[in-house]
Structure 1
Amino acid sequence: MKIRLALLLCLSLHLVPSQAQEAIRVGVELQPYQPYSEVENGEYRGYARELLDAFAAEQGYRFVYTPLPVRRLLGDFLGGRVDLKFPDHPQWNADQKAGHPVRYSQPAAPYVDGVLVKPQYLGQGKARIRLLGTQNGFTPWPYLEDIRAQRIKLIQANQIESLLLMAASDRVDAVYLNPRVVTHQLRQMRLAPDALVFDPQLAHVEDHYYLSSIHHPELIEAFDRFLERRAELVAAIRLRHGL
């Protein structure tokens, strides 16, 4: 009887997926960026957390989230100190990623990055923008030519809250950020929801965030299958977070 129990125990251990045996380190951004993500009391939260948790639960993975400043996150990712990175994009830090076989997932979260101005400046075009604020780590792609030609001066800050206050007090002419994130932040700051508004007539970027890995392409393949197979669940998570 004891031999039979030992054999059953051994077999059951072999049936446990190997990925459940060790933690998978997921590198994420420390900066608050709701509704996509934030870190509160050391806990990673938001749309990204719910999406990745749903994937991990279905596949039997054990994810450990490691929130890091944007630049350190890139270094830890390229150095192999985290297994997965979210968010990521093929265009981001392409020169630093050169030589690393980065594998990107299918689109995991839609986003828009663009220019937000005070309501009275809406529709007045690019010509009035001399000082453009954005967050450290952000690249205002549609305005790089103007910045390099010194037609626009780029002002960067670590905190979105600081940028919004600068725009509200006319210390910058506009900010280049994600409108959904700005809306959330204005609410948190108890400012009017239309204190800054997205100007769709100005150049902006509509794209997606991706999950990436260097050393574990099999995880990206599994995530892609999850996105396709559980499309309804993914859509419900997006709706829940206003995406």
Structure 2
Amino acid sequence: MRLLLPLLACLLLQLLPPAQAETFTVGVELQSYMPYSDVQDGQYLGYGRDLLDAFAAHQGHVFIYQPLPVRRLLSDFLSGRVDFKYPDNPRWNANLKQNHTLYFSQVAAPSVDGVLVKPQFLGQGKTRLRRLATQRGFTPWPYLDDIKAGRIILIQANQIDSLLAMALSDRVDGVYLNPQVVRHQLYNSKQNESLVFDPQLPFQNDHYFLSSIKYPEVIEQFNAFLSSQAEWVQQLKERHSISDALSGP
């Protein structure tokens, strides 16, 4: 009987369907962009990590996070060196993606990009903006026509703290960034209200998605997770102080 039990166990294992859990590499941005994400000592942190970890645990997958500079992240993703890219958006670098078939998830997080100014300049309108700063690689969509026409000079920098310093020292008239990211950064530097979001200026409601070239079936699993766990996902956003899209003035 003792010899028979291991044989029965082996037989049962052979009859079970193969496990669907897999190990994947997720390419993420190597920059501080809290509350959405951060990388400290090589560890990916923030809302994105919590969301993707919860999905992986729910599905039985293992996600290995690969923090990369923004430009290299896109290159490694398109060349197949990472399995997924987060965050992503169909509009980002669309010209570089056009020869690839990409699969995008449902919305994983809302995002707002707009102009932050000193409080004394709040509500003074777009004509005041002669020099507008943003993060390198970002596209200030609502201001492209003004930039092309020369009415606004676009200034770019790699680091958010450099952009905020430009605005605080009046080297630029405003910064085009995510207000929630700026608020988090200013709070940590004890400069809470030194720059404020101006809702009277054009801004962009946007979204972050999970994308893949090789694994559309996992994207579908992620979509099912977002739908079935919608209440938990909303609580996670609130826990990380991530607000839904804003309305215009």
Using structure 2 for the length normalisation, give the TM-score: 0.92
In structure 1, C-alpha distance between the alignment counterparts of 2:144 and 2:12, rounded to whole Å: 59
Tell me how far 1:155 sits from its aligned partner. 0.7
Q: Which amino acid aligns with 2:54?
A: A
In structure 2, C-alpha distance between the alignment counterparts of 1:38 and 1:69, rounded to whole Å: 12
Deviations 1:93-143 (A, max 9, x none): 000000211010011101110000001111111111111110111110001
Q: State the secondary structure of the residue aligned to 1:8.
A: helix
- The equivalences for 1:55-134 within 5 A come to 55-134=55-134
Q: In 2 relative to 1, CA 8–190 (structure 1 residues): closer, same or farther, beyond 3 Å?
A: same
In structure 2, C-alpha distance between the alignment counterparts of 1:6 and 1:158, rounded to whole Å: 61
In structure 2, C-alpha distance between the alignment counterparts of 1:221 and 1:10, rounded to whole Å: 32
Match in the other structure for 2:226: 227
Tell me how far 1:49 sits from its aligned partner. 0.4
Match in the other structure for 2:19: 17
Q: State the secondary structure of the residue aligned to 2:200.
A: coil
Tell me how far 1:17 sits from its aligned partner. 2.0
In structure 1, C-alpha distance between the alignment counterparts of 2:41 and 2:142, rounded to whole Å: 36
In structure 1, C-alpha distance between the alignment counterparts of 2:3 and 2:170, rounded to whole Å: 78
In structure 1, C-alpha distance between the alignment counterparts of 2:4 and 2:237, rounded to whole Å: 51
Match in the other structure for 1:212: 211
Match in the other structure for 1:144: 144
Q: State the secondary structure of the residue aligned to 1:107.
A: coil
In structure 1, C-alpha distance between the alignment counterparts of 2:64 and 2:11, rounded to whole Å: 27
Tell me how far 1:236 sits from its aligned partner. 1.2
In structure 2, C-alpha distance between the alignment counterparts of 1:9 and 1:165, rounded to whole Å: 65
Match in the other structure for 2:43: 43
Q: Which amino acid aligns with 1:235?
A: Q
Q: Which amino acid aligns with 2:21?
A: Q
Q: Which amino acid aligns with 1:238?
A: K
Tell me how far 1:149 sits from its aligned partner. 1.3
Q: Which amino acid aligns with 2:151?
A: R
Q: Which amino acid aligns with 1:19?
A: A
In structure 1, C-alpha distance between the alignment counterparts of 2:122 and 2:7, rounded to whole Å: 73
Tell me how far 1:148 sits from its aligned partner. 1.2
2:182 aligned with 1:182: yes
In structure 1, C-alpha distance between the alignment counterparts of 2:133 and 2:75, rounded to whole Å: 25
Q: State the secondary structure of the residue aligned to 2:127.
A: coil
Tell me how far 1:63 sits from its aligned partner. 0.2
Deviations 1:43-86 (A, max 9, x none): 10000100000000000000000011110000011000111111
Q: In 2 relative to 1, CA 93–6 (structure 1 residues): closer, same or farther, beyond 3 Å?
A: farther
Q: State the secondary structure of the residue aligned to 1:39.
A: strand
In structure 2, C-alpha distance between the alignment counterparts of 1:132 and 1:177, rounded to whole Å: 10
Q: State the secondary structure of the residue aligned to 1:82.
A: coil
Match in the other structure for 1:238: 237
Question: What is the aligned length?
Answer: 240
In structure 1, C-alpha distance between the alignment counterparts of 2:59 and 2:17, rounded to whole Å: 14
Q: State the secondary structure of the residue aligned to 1:209.
A: strand
Match in the other structure for 1:8: 9
Tell me how far 1:7 sits from its aligned partner. 5.0
In structure 1, C-alpha distance between the alignment counterparts of 2:88 and 2:184, rounded to whole Å: 22
Tell me how far 1:233 sits from its aligned partner. 1.1
Tell me how far 1:213 sits from its aligned partner. 0.5
In structure 1, C-alpha distance between the alignment counterparts of 2:76 and 2:8, rounded to whole Å: 42
2:35 aligned with 1:29: no
Unaligned 5+ segments in structure 2 are 243-249
